[in-house]
Amino acid sequence: MKRSHAHEQNHVFENVSDPGTDREDKLQGKRQRRLSSLQDEKQGGTGIPCDGVNTVDPPADDELVDLVLSEVHINPLNGPAQNDGQNRRRTVFRLKPESRMSGTSPLIIEHEMATPLSRVGLQVWSGALLLCDYILSQSDNIFTPETIVLELGCGTGLVAAVAGRACGRVYATDLDSLGVLDLCCRNLELNDVKDRVKVKQLDLLDNQCPLFKEFDTSNDIDRAPILNAVDSGPYCWTSADVQDFMANCTILLAADIIYEDTVTFALVQRLWTLLSPTTNNQPRILYLALEKRVQFSLDEQEVTAPARDYFLETLKASNADRGEANVPERIVAKMMDIDRIPHILQYERTKELELWSLTLERIESEG
């Protein structure tokens, strides 16, 4: 697939924040104080408060500058994260007092605080909370006991836990590394939804993943049947799981997975398979939540959101490639109006948050 750098007009950034605002300065100051607390603890300081920074395996001193910290943990509207005694934190995500969903219980999530970029899946990010709001607000319409869902990049399992309460069956997927899937299972147990959520390994870069074998890798246009699926290991796909996904899964979810170009490129390539209709000929849709991580470009003298821009550019290029190959399908991405999504959980819903719907639509030939 070609890598395009062209922008579509309808992908203008209507709500880009100024990186020099007081809010950004305050957040940066909070990040620095939390990271400094971690360094003090490593050097034998007096300790950190219960909402401070901690990790399962404290990084070396020369790695401290590479730590990242989610804004969810910088501004803990749900109260300070409590130490669970196992070098992780536990946050109770509560509903806003004015929410009308009084019957929904809070969510208990264990997580890490500041981590290297390779471990960000062990934190909770704002996009996941926005996606949870959407699921909760549509639990009588889209997300019902008859719905089968697959989540890409489940991380701590927050979205999977919410979907598990509403839907008939959920496949929560992520890399089987760094304890991510174990942590997801732990959080599903804490929220009493483990029986409704299946945790599975899925690497978007892995051509051997059973879900991606629906297309022959030698020619990603021609379909080829799945012959076998892996049937061993706690997080491996069974043949029954794969067939269930192919026949019954109509909704895909993803939050906060648009941040690294290699993974984003692989995601766009996989969408042609993941969004293809079920074997029961039902359409699929992906709800993708992301946060525009803006920065100021000195070269271009403008505010940009590189990760989000790259996703949209790659999607446009992929559609163009399919068009040149005379494939009568396009991936259609639509940004949803989040002002129309009820704000149910306690978190700061910033103007950098976005929710997109993506579908695979057939283009009718002219004449």
Query: What pLDDT score does 297 carry?
Result: 64
Report DSSP letters for 183-246, one per residue: HHHHHHHHTT-GGGEEEEE--TT-TT-GGGGGB-TT-TTSB---------STTPPPHHHHHHHH
**Of 133, 134, 135, 127, whose CA–CA distance to 153 is shortest?**
127
Whether residue 218 lies inside any domain: the answer is yes
Q: Kindly state the average pLDDT of the residues 276-281.
A: 95
191 and 154: one domain? yes
Whether residue 331 lies inside any domain: the answer is yes
Task: Look at residue 60 and tell me whether its pLDDT is greater than 90.
Answer: no
- Chain Cα centroid distance, residue 131: 9
- Pair 119, 178: CB distance under 8 Å: yes
Query: What pLDDT score does 77 carry?
Result: 72
- Pair 339, 62: CB distance under 8 Å: no
Q: What is the pLDDT of residues 300-355, one digit of tens each?
A: 667 789 999 999 999 999 999 999 999 999 999 999 999 999 999 999 999 999 99
Q: Which of 52, 79, 114 is the last residue of a domain?
A: 114
Task: Look at residue 124 and tell me whether its pLDDT is greater than 60.
Answer: yes
Q: What is the pLDDT of residues 90-113, one digit of tens each?
A: 999 999 888 776 667 899 999 998
Task: Report which of residues 265 and 81 the model is more confident about.
Answer: 265
138 and 255: one domain? yes
Whether residue 16 lies inside any domain: the answer is no
Whether residue 82 lies inside any domain: the answer is yes
Whether residue 8 lies inside any domain: the answer is no
93 and 136: one domain? no
Query: What pLDDT score does 81 carry?
Result: 67
Task: Report which of residues 46 and 229 the model is more confident about.
Answer: 229
Task: Look at residue 12 and tell me whether its pLDDT is greater than 80.
Answer: no
Mean of pLDDT over the chain? 80
Task: Look at residue 20 and tell me whether its pLDDT is greater than 50.
Answer: no
Query: What pLDDT score does 229 carry?
Result: 47
Query: What pLDDT score does 231 carry?
Result: 54
Q: What is the pLDDT of residues 132-177, one digit of tens each?
A: 999 999 999 999 999 999 999 999 999 999 999 999 999 999 999 9
86 and 221: one domain? no
98 and 245: one domain? no
Q: Kindly state the average pLDDT of the residues 268-283.
A: 96
Q: Kindly state the average pLDDT of the residues 186-207.
A: 96
184 and 272: one domain? yes
Query: What pLDDT score does 135 carry?
Result: 98
Q: What is the 3-state secondary structure (H, E, C) of 46-111?
A: CCCCCCCCCCCCCCCHHHHHHEECCHHHHCCCCCCCEECCCCCEEEEECECCCCCCCCCCCEEEEE
98 and 228: one domain? no
Task: Look at residue 66 and tell me whether its pLDDT is greater than 90.
Answer: no
Q: Where are the alpha helices (DSSP H) in 110-203?
A: 126-137, 158-166, 180-190
Out of 53-67, 68-82, 224-238, 310-324, which region has the weakest mean confidence (pLDDT)? 53-67
Q: Kindly state the average pLDDT of the residues 270-293.
A: 96
Q: Kindly state the average pLDDT of the residues 78-101.
A: 76
Which residues on adjacent β-strands are paired with residue 303?
A: 296
Q: Which of 51, 83, 114 is the last residue of a domain?
A: 114
Whether residue 248 lies inside any domain: the answer is yes
d(CA 34, CA 48): 9
- Pair 231, 130: CB distance under 8 Å: no
304 and 363: one domain? yes
Out of 7-21, 70-84, 271-285, 302-316, which region has the weakest mean confidence (pLDDT)? 7-21
pTM of the predicted model as reported, rounded to 2 decimal places: 0.80
- Domain ranges, residue 101: 22-114
Task: Look at residue 221 and tell me whether its pLDDT is greater than 90.
Answer: no
Q: Which of 90, 114, 138 is the last residue of a domain?
A: 114
129 and 109: one domain? no
237 and 348: one domain? yes
109 and 131: one domain? no
Query: What pLDDT score does 57 carry?
Result: 44
Which residues on adjacent β-strands are paired with residue 107?
A: 93
**Of 194, 201, 283, whose CA–CA distance to 242 is shortest?**
201
Both tokens assigned to 347 = 């978190």
Query: What pLDDT score does 304 carry?
Result: 82
Task: Look at residue 85 and tell me whether its pLDDT is greater than 70.
Answer: no
Whether residue 6 lies inside any domain: the answer is no
Query: What pLDDT score does 115 carry?
Result: 87
129 and 30: one domain? no
Whether residue 180 lies inside any domain: the answer is yes
Q: Total domain count for the chain? A: 2
User: Which CATH number is 143's domain given?
Assistant: 3.40.50.150
